[in-house]
Amino acid sequence: MPTVEEVLEFVEELAPPDLAEDWDNPGVQVAPPDGLSREVDRVVVGLDVAHVVDEAREAELAITHHPMFLKPPRRITGRTYTVLRRVLEADATFYAAHTNWDRAEGGVADSLARRLNLRVVDTACDELGRVCEVRGPSDELLNALRNFSPLTTVYGDWEDVRTVLVVPGSAPSEVVDEADDVDAVISGEVKYHTRAELLELGVTVVELGHEYSEIPGMQELARRVRSEFEVEVEFVPPPDLTVIR
């Protein structure tokens, strides 16, 4: 059986930490003193620490997309206290693969493009995004987007969309720099001003919901760990979102 450290060495081959943004905090977030040397039976994978913390009680390692700490906490109160207490009670190693896994080959951006049946032709936005060609009729892609997430919202028109920019999570403002080369931007969420600028430039904007856009990448990470090691790897989806229409 591999140790936690051996599983994490494999994860860091897939998602090298030096690919992360400067402000990011990938890597081990919380670990018991002997956490890294423990043998792994079970790994849980998800988007947020709060989503996986209950299942982590039965695991030695929890891998999330979002780091538990982006900024060092100045006080442990409120929700930070509640989540941290559950994390410590779980007695497992908590690890994050964030913007490094977004960028990495086969990571969050590539996985979303593949899930939407798009052909990746280039990287964009400092490798956080992928420029893709639509394979079939653009209406098929529109259906795929709607089936993929109940939160899918399309701004602008959907006529003859052939080239799209895929950026999971929150779209950086640099997506506007790609406006000449793409017909649509597909992201988890796009800030109002960025969206307005894209629409003025004739670029359609699709929001899938932040968490939905990142699910394929974390499922892919779970799949890779599962096929490398003989351990149980469970992907824990975000809690159900109630969408009022």
Angstrom distance (rounded) from CA 50 to CA 53: 5
Of 43 and 47, nearer to Zn ion (C-beta) is 47
CB 81 to Zn ion: min, Å: 23
CB 214 to Zn ion: min, Å: 5
Residue of minimal Cβ distance to Zn ion = 169
CB 204 to Zn ion: min, Å: 22
CB 144 to Zn ion: min, Å: 21
In the complex, the residues that contact Zn ion under the rule CB under 5 A are: 169
Of 2 and 169, nearer to Zn ion (C-beta) is 169
Of 4 and 44, nearer to Zn ion (C-beta) is 44
Of 107 and 169, nearer to Zn ion (C-beta) is 169
Q: Give the total residue count for the chain.
A: 245
Ranges of H-type helices in the chain: 4-14, 49-52, 78-90, 99-103, 108-115, 138-148, 192-200, 210-228
CA distances in angstroms from 1 to 38, 60, 233, listed in the order given: 10, 12, 13
| Sheet containing strand 27-30, strands side by side | 27-30, 93-96, 61-64, 42-46, 232-235
